[in-house]
Amino acid sequence: MYKMLIPYDTVSQILSSYGITVNGVLHIGAHECEELAAYTQNGVNPDNIIWIEANPSLVEKMRAAGTPVYNAAISNKEEEVPFYITNNGQSSSLLKFGTHAQHYPWCVVSNTITVKTETLQTFIDKHKIHIGNYNFWNLDIQGCELSALISAGDNIMSADAIYCEVNIEEVYEGCALLTDLDTYLSKYNFTRHSISMTGAGWGDALYIKT
């Protein structure tokens, strides 16, 4: 929804303490690429960042500004579904509002478009991406983070660290909860290192492969 709750400067320091150097970033839910400056200031080459965004108007805006962004809606199913675009842009999602509507009554769906979702595995194959070059994954896709991670299959092992938005209540209808992410990522030896929560049922968490 917003910039990283655990600033990337802090994340970079944490990863360094584990001997992890970020060589490339896979960022799903680009929005307006607000993290670009923080990535580059901490040694990430802009050419080694893959930005993915489901909202085509944001993709066009960022491309016009000189940042290459892929237009894709990542999910664990490939189908045509509604994508709910909100008046703040940042809360747009493949999922309908759950408690989000109570926490942020001023934020509403202003437009609904149809998108064709694709798995992360399909995306990687289609664009011939050497996923091993991208060892830091950042997912900010409003309740669909677990779905996207599942869709990666064993490609997830290319990541040394995963940073993602998490929920402790159904901020979006049917969204995965923090415990679901903890359980799934533990299967691939990722442990939750840090978490920062808002007072609105969601937050950000950093997972590190142990």
pTM score, whole prediction: 0.97
Interval 170-200: pLDDT, tens: 999 999 999 999 999 999 999 999 999 999 9
Q: Is 183 helix (H, G, I), strand (E, B) or coil?
A: helix
Question: Among 147, 127, 125, which residue's Cα sits nearest to residue 29?
Answer: 147
Question: Among 120, 150, 133, 103, which residue's Cα sits nearest to residue 25?
Answer: 133
Interval 10-56: pLDDT, tens: 999 999 999 999 999 999 999 999 999 999 999 999 999 999 999 99
β-bridge mates for residue 163, sequence order: 138, 206
Question: Among 32, 50, 25, 28, which residue's Cα sits nearest to residue 127?
Answer: 50
Interval 147-176: pLDDT, tens: 999 999 999 999 999 999 999 999 999 999
Question: Among 111, 28, 109, which residue's Cα sits nearest to residue 69?
Answer: 28
Q: Is 6 helix (H, G, I), strand (E, B) or coil?
A: coil
Contact 161, 25 (CB under 8 A): no
How far apart, in Å, are the Cα atoms of 108 and each of 103, 111, 143, 154? 11, 9, 16, 36
Contacts of 55 (CB under 8 A, 6+ apart): 83, 85, 89, 92
Name residue, tokens 């970020």. Answer: 22
Computed over every residue of the chain, the mean pLDDT equals 96
The full set of domains in the chain, from first to last, is 8-209 (3.40.50.150)
Interval 61-100: pLDDT, tens: 999 999 999 999 999 999 999 999 999 988 999 999 999 9
